[in-house]
Structure 1
Amino acid sequence: MSIPVIDIFAGPGGLGEGFSSLFHGGERIFKTVLSIEMEKYAHETLTFRSFYRQFHPDEVPEEYYQVLRGELSKDELFGMEEFQEEVASAEKEAKQAKLGFDDDSVNPDLVDEWIEEALEREDEEDWILLGGPPCQAYSIVGRSRNQRTILDADEDDRVDLYKHYLRIIEAHRPAVFVMENVKGLLSARSKSNSIFDKILEDLKAPGYRIFSLVKEPRNNLFDDPEFEPKDFVIRCEEYGIPQTRHRVILLGIREDFFQGQPGILEKKPSVPLKAVIDDLPRLRSGLSRQKNVWENWGKKIEEITLNGVMESMDSEVVRLVKTTVKNLTNPHKNSGADFVENRSDYTPLKYEQNWFYDERIGGACNHESRGHMGSDLHRYLFASSYAKVKGRSPKMEDFPEKLLPAHKNVQEAIKNKKFADRFRVQLEDKPSKTITSHISKDGHYYIHPDPSQCRSLTVREAARIQTFPDNYFFCGPRTSQYVQVGNAVPPLLANDIANIVHRLFRN
């Protein structure tokens, strides 16, 4: 019998995917019985993935893959008579609802009904609660932009959203909970105290012990475990995730379920960016403000050698730029599409191949590049060439004057080094910088390391960095897909956490 999992503030389902992907003897150890997400397209993604999980991975119908390849729509698949039982189960599991304090929020009594029905259906008393209450209010960057160091729940109801998580713990008492949030939570303060200390105190009150997943307690095993706030920060790049993502993750264990120290994550070698994106089909960027065809794109790239831009460039960078321009070739699928088939000589990536790769897809879905202005194409070409030569992404002061953006604060960025890396190349031989929802706004912070592609990362590349399997399809417009990926917990990390939780249940 699978152990029930309920996932609230679920986003596109990164935490739930990690738990649901843990198998023993060919069966899922954990089963997501309820997930709640307010955003429309993230909810669609959850529902579609839930449909996938109604089947054993070896028995997923071909029609699912036809949707990934664009040969069939999701609505057409969900309308097929032979899959109505699985569709009904998926739609019953994935709920679109807002947990909050305003009039648009779902009634807590209805949430309780959903939980009771999901758990009664599984006839299981001990279950797991997952979730990451929205974190914008705790974000260091967000507080900096708003010039706030003290958070007020009366002014920003996101500060107290964790209380919905707490209410479910108090009312339904899961055996274990896993709660994720941004690192900025540790330094956030209300008018009276540390928000993190208050959250810990509240979560312990219903009879739970809170553990770090990366540090042993600093005291006797059988006392209430003691940790420093920083002990709860997981530096993802130290645990086999190809990005420098640092997040607070709490593991709560109900007192009567406690059997001793649960264990911690095992450190793993650093994973460079190229290990997870190098096998994906090559693309060029799109071209905005003019027809997006190869001839126009190539001519626009070539202009960098004609307008005097390179006069102030480093000589090694100039050589690479010239070589790149001279050898430009149009990728077989131009700037990509919702689905891009693999070339006949395709070889899948080696890193965690069993986790990512699914030969039934035959290519990459959600793999379409953005359109960029011609001036940005030149900046991307310079930046990626500079990074390849110098081993670091250029700062504003490294850009030729003719490539500097026409923003009024550019000189301030150069002088005061404030947001001086607004054009950031993700280095191929190092883990990527953190994938966040900001990737949906523009690609300047997420420039592909290959100068010949001259573009920002696609949704699929961002999803690979976040460790979503290739058969995980993101629904909705591309902007929403980026937001979903950026807001998620890396499923591969969640899978390692699931292993720790499974040991608790075995005990």
Structure 2
Amino acid sequence: MKPEVARRKLARLRAGGKPRVLDLFSGCGGLSLGFLAAGFRIGAAVEFDPDAARSHGLNFHPDDPRHSQARDIIVTHPEDLVSELGLGPVDDAFDVLIGGPPCQAFARVGRPKLREIDAHPRAFEHDPRARLYQEYLRYVEAFQPVAVLIENVPDVLNHGGQNIAEEICEVLESKGYLCGYTLLNASFYGVPQMRERMFLIAYHREAGGQISFPVPTHWMDLPPGYEGSRSVALKFLSKAQGDAHDYIDPPASRRHLPPAVTADKAIGDLTPINARRQMAEGKLKRGARRFDQSMLPDARRRISDYARLMRSWPGFEHPEGGIRDHVIRYLPRDYEIFARLKPGDQYPEAHQLAMTMLAERVEQLRQQGVRIREGSPEWQNLLAAIVPPYDASKFPNKWRKMWRDQPARTLLAHLGKDSYSHIHYDSEQARTISVREAARLQSFPDGFVFCGTMNPAFRQIGNAVPPLMAKALAAEILQTLCGYNEARNDEHTRTTAVL
């Protein structure tokens, strides 16, 4: 990157200009929303999925349909993007690039190959696995941002024996950037979800300063599964020794901080949906769930500080007519199982309960004078109607009932296929979470709109970076780029800490 370009951009920012952001692999815009809330301007996004692209455009550029178009980063050149959107010269269009290239693009490519790809723009034709990585680097080279943020799963620290984060840093450092990466858990930053992710920050050397990550605002004891994944990643880094020189220890969460936001504080104020009763009344039927009906809030429900923030997020306030995506899946076989599960129960417990329910039904029929022999066609029909078909020994984590008094486990894109990983903690409601509840657990405010039907919306939410997590990172970056004083940073910390 040309130093004079960096100096020009930094001068504009330090004179009071808002940093202009390009969000790559943006999804619906979790990162964008956090950066917007921290004081950045969302200039554009590149997203391949049509529903997610429409969501991003509708939320951040509602009056300009050009921003709602899906774009493939492989065929969308930087020059074409700025021309289509009328953003002026390429190297002056954006100050910050954010996003997370899919980790599959990095698999087993190797550091020499990555350098070759960076040096030879057409090299990806010989190794398509690195294609998206090459495109990301191409955008960095073209737009010459003064800061870069990359997000990915913790496994990128040991992806087939490679430390992908370190390799990214090596390439960016060759372009004049200072880099650092770490692992952060969203529950430490006011998000009601135990989501562990790798974050990498890079600044052009003209920006000065050091790489730092936001100080946690909340505390919790992470369960073994999360501490274990972090330990595995860090163990690999320790074995790598000098091959992980850009890794930074994450800021420690302290016990004196406010406790992590729980699932109940996140979604307890939303109007209850009693799945069994709605099904009996004919209000819940099979078919695509469209967001064509509003649900007014229940005034009797207690509103936590977190729920109040989700209702009043500036620019994304709770709709006056009610939310339109508080909808759930039609799962008639499973509602009774959900009601009997205890918090923390997973699929083995669910399967055992279903077998008990099967035995109860057979006994009930026997008392009515109907005898059903195990293995008979009648018994097989009952089995299919009551018991889920998955092998409990092969799918132990397929189901999980949430805890009321803990943050939710990680939401994944698989929510778009089923929601069994997040069964509502309220046994009276006896269902999986709704789209809006998933959004709340991911820290999307109530006024944020998801395009498409239920399944695409779930997928967009599961793929997103939690906006509150993104806001904490954005505030840290803003202070470095703009030279904001400590008082501004303390104000951000106090605002987040009230959640």
TM-score bracket, shorter-length normalisation? 0.5 to 0.7
Question: Given the superposition, is the C-alpha separation of residues 441 and 93 from structure 1 closer, same or farther in structure 2, using an over 3 Å criterion?
Answer: closer
Question: Given the superposition, is the C-alpha separation of residues 394 and 169 from structure 1 closer, same or farther in structure 2, using an over 3 Å criterion?
Answer: closer
Give the C-alpha shift of residue 198 in structure 1. 2.3
Question: Given the superposition, is the C-alpha separation of residues 158 and 450 from structure 1 closer, same or farther in structure 2, using an over 3 Å criterion?
Answer: farther
CA contact (8 A) 2:268 2:301 kept: no
Query: 1-side partners of 2:482 and 2:474: how far apart?
Result: 12
CA contact (8 A) 1:36 1:94 kept: no
What SS does the aligned partner of 1:472 have?
coil
Q: Is 1:339 the equivalent of 2:294?
A: yes
What SS does the aligned partner of 1:41 have?
helix
Question: Given the superposition, is the C-alpha separation of residues 44 and 297 from structure 1 closer, same or farther in structure 2, using an over 3 Å criterion?
Answer: closer
**Structure 2 counterpart of 1:402, from 356, 361, 364:** 356
CA contact (8 A) 2:50 2:69 kept: no
Give the C-alpha shift of residue 284 in structure 1. 2.3
Q: Is 1:91 the equivalent of 2:81?
A: no
**Considering only aligned residues, what root-mean-square deviation do their CA atoms show, in Å?**
3.1
2:236 paired residue number: none
Give the C-alpha shift of residue 344 in structure 1. 4.5
Matches within 5 A, 1:3-402: 3-22=19-38, 29-51=39-61, 87=63, 90-100=64-74, 105-107=75-77, 109-111=79-81, 113=83, 117-118=86-87, 120=89, 127-135=95-103, 157=128, 159-189=130-160, 193-212=162-181, 232-268=182-218, 269-285=259-275, 293-295=279-281, 338-345=293-300, 348-351=303-306, 353-357=308-312, 358=317, 360-373=319-332, 375-383=333-341, 386-387=342-343, 392-397=344-349, 399-400=352-353, 401-402=355-356
Question: Given the superposition, is the C-alpha separation of residues 426 and 336 from structure 1 closer, same or farther in structure 2, using an over 3 Å criterion?
Answer: farther
Query: 2-side partners of 1:6 and 1:211: how far apart?
Result: 20
Letter in 2 for 1:17: L
Question: Given the superposition, is the C-alpha separation of residues 126 and 458 from structure 1 closer, same or farther in structure 2, using an over 3 Å criterion?
Answer: closer
Query: 2-side partners of 1:474 and 1:285: how far apart?
Result: 23
1:130-154 CA-partner distances (Å, limit 9, x unpaired): 1111246679xxxxxxxxxxxxx88
What SS does the aligned partner of 1:250 have?
strand
Structure 1 residues not aligned, in runs of 5+? 23-28, 53-86, 140-152, 213-231, 299-334
Question: Given the superposition, is the C-alpha separation of residues 428 and 347 from structure 1 closer, same or farther in structure 2, using an over 3 Å criterion?
Answer: closer
Letter in 2 for 1:184: D
Query: 2-side partners of 1:475 and 1:6: how far apart?
Result: 21
Letter in 1 for 2:36: S
What SS does the aligned partner of 1:177 have?
strand
What SS does the aligned partner of 2:178 have?
strand
What SS does the aligned partner of 2:323 have?
strand
Query: 2-side partners of 1:456 and 1:436: how far apart?
Result: 14
CA contact (8 A) 1:34 1:94 kept: no
Give the C-alpha shift of residue 38 in structure 1. 1.2
Give the C-alpha shift of residue 186 in structure 1. 1.5
What SS does the aligned partner of 2:294 have?
strand
**TM-score, scaled to structure 1:** 0.66
**TM-score, scaled to structure 2:** 0.67
Give the C-alpha shift of residue 8 in structure 1. 1.1
**Structure 2 counterpart of 1:440, from 410, 416, 423:** 416
Deviates more, 1:275-284 or 1:43-52: 43-52
Give the C-alpha shift of residue 293 in structure 1. 4.3
Query: 2-side partners of 1:240 and 1:344: how far apart?
Result: 24
Letter in 2 for 1:204: E
Letter in 1 for 2:157: L
CA contact (8 A) 1:361 1:471 kept: no
CA contact (8 A) 1:281 1:364 kept: no
Query: 1-side partners of 2:158 and 2:322: how far apart?
Result: 43
Question: Given the superposition, is the C-alpha separation of residues 286 and 352 from structure 1 closer, same or farther in structure 2, using an over 3 Å criterion?
Answer: closer
Question: What is the aligned residue count?
Answer: 372
Question: Given the superposition, is the C-alpha separation of residues 18 and 423 from structure 1 closer, same or farther in structure 2, using an over 3 Å criterion?
Answer: same
Letter in 2 for 1:421: N
Question: Given the superposition, is the C-alpha separation of residues 458 and 125 from structure 1 closer, same or farther in structure 2, using an over 3 Å criterion?
Answer: closer
Query: 2-side partners of 1:498 and 1:376: how far apart?
Result: 42
Query: 2-side partners of 1:173 and 1:128: how far apart?
Result: 9
Query: 2-side partners of 1:481 and 1:380: how far apart?
Result: 23
Query: 1-side partners of 2:292 and 2:81: how far apart?
Result: 38
Letter in 2 for 1:372: L
Question: Given the superposition, is the C-alpha separation of residues 12 and 125 from structure 1 closer, same or farther in structure 2, using an over 3 Å criterion?
Answer: closer
1:95-124 CA-partner distances (Å, limit 9, x unpaired): 421123xxxx33454246458x52659x96
1:199-226 CA-partner distances (Å, limit 9, x unpaired): 22222221111123xxxxxxxxxxxxxx
CA contact (8 A) 2:188 2:217 kept: yes
1:426-473 CA-partner distances (Å, limit 9, x unpaired): 111111011111111112111011111111011100000010011001
Letter in 2 for 1:354: L
Structure 2 residues not aligned, in runs of 5+? 1-16, 108-123, 219-258, 285-289, 358-385, 484-499
Question: Given the superposition, is the C-alpha separation of residues 336 and 382 from structure 1 closer, same or farther in structure 2, using an over 3 Å criterion?
Answer: farther
1:70 paired residue number: none
CA contact (8 A) 1:15 1:130 kept: yes
Question: Given the superposition, is the C-alpha separation of residues 177 and 356 from structure 1 closer, same or farther in structure 2, using an over 3 Å criterion?
Answer: farther
Give the C-alpha shift of residue 421 in structure 1. 3.1
Query: 1-side partners of 2:459 and 2:265: how far apart?
Result: 23
What SS does the aligned partner of 2:449 have?
coil
Give the C-alpha shift of residue 17 in structure 1. 0.7
What SS does the aligned partner of 1:45 have?
helix
CA contact (8 A) 2:54 2:451 kept: yes
CA contact (8 A) 2:400 2:422 kept: yes
